[in-house]
Amino acid sequence: MDPKTDRLIAARHQPKRRPVMSQSWDDLIFLHWACDAQEVQSRLPQGLFVDTFESQAHVSIVGFKMNHVRPFNLPAVPWLSFFNELNVRVYIIDRHGVPGVYFFSLDCDCWPAVAIARRFFSLNYVSNKMSFKTDENKHELIAQRKQSNLVAQYRWQTGSNVQKAIPGTLAFHLTERYNFFTEKNGQLLRGQVYHEPYELIDTDCTEYSDAPITWNNFPSPQRPPDLIHACRGVKIQAFSLVSTDA
């Protein structure tokens, strides 16, 4: 197996320290575009580097429902624990070769969750108006920022073929990511989540938008996504931030 795949598999481990949060990510949609690696690299914090697949960088939009979000071993609360999210991420490694993602934005329709995530995880959460409808295997997600006329709307229908991503494939490279990186007070930090590997579903996406990419001042891909897949959901344990030099 190639070294990049080995690194991704090694990062799947469950940390020995106590998680700080539990949550579920449900009804996920992943939309991936190949993009210019130099464009991404120029906007990454110092100490992070583009992680390519066959020399190609990618930017992704990921939408889903955040359910049962709560501190570890405490109950969920209705006004804080259930909301929608739409994020824009790229694929990177740190100076030690640890693979993960870097989020340029995470749109969310629950402002208390936005405030908590920005303070404790130093992530670029943005409060946004969103709606998410699900009818059996049909899904619709709509998001719009106040300062933009662009509406991000997605409609997709999931099929019956479900399988985990195969090591060495592009889907594996893009979904087997258990670390995220961020900056706080000039320090590069790593966060980690633990969950079972995504079970990916064949997906027919009838409507999509690259608006979240342009919200982050990236050029519009001006084409359909190069790869789309969905997942019914995973249960998550989230761990506190640590220094990338730890």
DSSP for 130-161 reads EEEEEETTEEEEEEE-TT-S-EEEEEEEEEEE
List, for residues 95-119, the tens digit of each pLDDT value: 999 999 999 999 999 999 999 999 9
pTM of the entire predicted model: 0.96
Number of domains in the chain: 1
List, for residues 3-47, the tens digit of each pLDDT value: 999 999 999 999 999 999 999 999 999 999 999 999 999 999 999
pLDDT of residue 246: 66
Q: Which residues of the chain have pLDDT under 70?
A: 246
- For 231, what's the count of Cα atoms within 13 Å in the CB-facing half-sphere? 25
Domain containing 59 equals 3-243
pLDDT of residue 93: 98
Provide the CATH number for the domain around residue 149: 2.40.400.10
